[in-house]
Amino acid sequence: MNVTSATVIVDYRLVSGFEAERQKLLAPEYSDRLSKPLAHWALPTDRHLPLALVGRTIESLIHTPFNELYATPGVGPKKIASLIRLLARAIQNAPAAANPIVNRSDEPAHVGNGRPHPALVSEAAWVQWRTSIRRHGLERETLGRLARSLQKLPRAIWNTQLGHYLDLTLEQIRGLRGHGEKRVSAVLEIFENLYQILLQVDANPHLAVQFRPRLVQQLESSIVRLLSLSGAPSADEVRTQFVDPLLELSRLDGGDLLAEVAAGRLSHFSTVQALARQKGLTRGRIYELWGDAAAIVNIRWPEGQALVSQLQAKLAANPLEPRVQGLFDAALELWFPLSPQAESAPVQSSASRRIAPGRRAPVRLSYSAAFHANGLTAPSEST
């Protein structure tokens, strides 16, 4: 080693730092980490990684004299300092990345939209997330069911189950076809959100949770209330407890345009062509958006078909007023087109006819006009 005063100080700090982390890792509570390679705690954004050492296990490194490590070809002060940082990460109870990431700049592990950046999540954190999700038996849940919004999730993976990723390392996920930075970030956001929630579940083992979108929970509660009524629901109840939440779900997961076009489907005021002209879209695009509305409900609420069919059966025994029945049937055909009861239900009004591609059909131009068409008052006009 050089004997200048500056290098002596640097070398002393490196020696003392390495020894401090080594002593911690020798403690029994960290024995489960000794068999893992140093690379397990490395982040793609780390600089000056000691590449000659990252393949060695923690146990091998802490039982190697400091002078031997320092004498490794290609290893200098900066790389030894990086080695010490990685050893410190191995000691953390929450491995690097869960929420704050330990890196050279102490930057958070998220990009501007709140998603964890793929380059700022370590394999150690990923193992922790996977282990927690597997322990709680969430392998069969789909990404689309658990995403904050389907607008943030590529449609190609809406139906992908969490279990698809549970046996893969981050490096393997990045190597999957079509898994660029945006898609990997979307996947990691879902896993991290679940992990943070499950931490609270683990701390309260007497409780259990069921994951579902908040709007879906509200919809189910509303429909259960409608099913419990002794007679037919009122026009206001059909609107506020069935149609409004479905429109909001379309807006959350498909955007404002989808919600507007979905509202247009509920009316008999105009043709598909007129709606397309008003929105500056082709008729084919209108049909695609209507299909998207049904697809969103199917992803977010796969149990919805059965529950809504129960509601339809109740209404068949307790008929609604014609104008309310028309609104209900139109909503049923838009968001639940695969419902067996919807397929066999008698046509109640012009608004309830199934609309096939290539055919002119009655649609609603706006949410407000939709309710006027059925003799109702739109929510925005009731205040």
pLDDT digits (tens, 9 = 90+) for 323-336: 888 889 999 999 99
- The tokens describing 355, both together, are 């609309």
Q: Residue 48 — pLDDT band, cuts 50, 70, 90?
A: confident
Please state, in angstroms and as integers, the Cα–Cα distance from residue 77 to each residue in 50, 93, 106, 237, following that order: 10, 27, 20, 71
How far from the centroid of its chain's Cα atoms is residue 330's Cα?
Answer: 30
The answer to whether residues 296 and 374 belong to one domain is yes
d(CA 229, CA 238): 12
pLDDT for residue 188? 93
Listed residues 158, 183, 203: the one ending a domain: 203
d(CA 374, CA 376): 6
d(CA 325, CA 306): 19
CB burial readout 10-21, b (16+ within 10 A) else e: bbeebeebbeeb
The answer to whether residues 258 and 326 belong to one domain is yes
8 A C-beta contact, residue 76 and residue 85:
no
Better-predicted residue by pLDDT, 209 or 145? 145
Please check whether residue 348 lies inside any domain of the structure: yes
The answer to whether residues 350 and 258 belong to one domain is yes
Please check whether residue 108 lies inside any domain of the structure: no
Query: Which DSSP state fits 357?
Result: T
> Which tens digits make up the pLDDT trace of 10-39?
677 888 888 888 888 888 888 888 888 887
Residue 383 has pLDDT above 50, yes or no: no
Residue 95 has pLDDT above 50, yes or no: no
Please check whether residue 111 lies inside any domain of the structure: no
Residue 106 has pLDDT above 50, yes or no: no
Please check whether residue 80 lies inside any domain of the structure: yes
pLDDT for residue 217? 92
The answer to whether residues 50 and 126 belong to one domain is no
Please check whether residue 347 lies inside any domain of the structure: yes
CA neighbor of 294 nearest in space, from 327, 255, 246, 326: 246
Q: Residue 134 — pLDDT band, cuts 50, 70, 90?
A: very high
The answer to whether residues 304 and 369 belong to one domain is yes
What is the overall mean pLDDT for the chain?
A: 79
Q: Residue 101: helix, strand or coil by DSSP? A: coil
- The tokens describing 108, both together, are 């958070």
Runs of H (alpha helix) within 93-142: 123-135
pLDDT for residue 77? 86
8 A C-beta contact, residue 79 and residue 69:
no
The answer to whether residues 185 and 36 belong to one domain is no
The answer to whether residues 62 and 180 belong to one domain is no
Residue 142 has pLDDT above 60, yes or no: yes
pLDDT for residue 34? 87
Residue with tokens 């598909």: 272
Listed residues 148, 169, 203: the one ending a domain: 203
> Which tens digits make up the pLDDT trace of 152-211?
899 999 999 999 999 998 889 989 999 988 899 999 999 999 998 998 888 888 887 888
In this prediction, what percent of the chain has a pLDDT beyond 70? Answer: 77
Range of the domain at 132: 118-203
In this prediction, what percent of the chain has a pLDDT beyond 90? Answer: 37
Number of domains making up the chain: 3
Q: Residue 363: helix, strand or coil by DSSP? A: strand
The answer to whether residues 161 and 263 belong to one domain is no
> Which tens digits make up the pLDDT trace of 292-339?
999 999 999 999 999 999 999 998 888 888 888 888 999 999 999 865
Which residues lie below 8 Å from residue 124, measured CB to CB, with a gap of 6+?
36, 40, 41, 89, 90, 95, 96, 97
Q: Residue 368: helix, strand or coil by DSSP? A: helix
Sign of CA dihedral 55, 56, 57, 58: negative
d(CA 290, CA 297): 11
pTM value surpassing 0.75: no
CA neighbor of 188 nearest in space, from 206, 209, 216, 168: 168
On the CB side of 175, CA atoms within 13 Å amount to 5
The answer to whether residues 227 and 368 belong to one domain is yes
The answer to whether residues 62 and 41 belong to one domain is yes
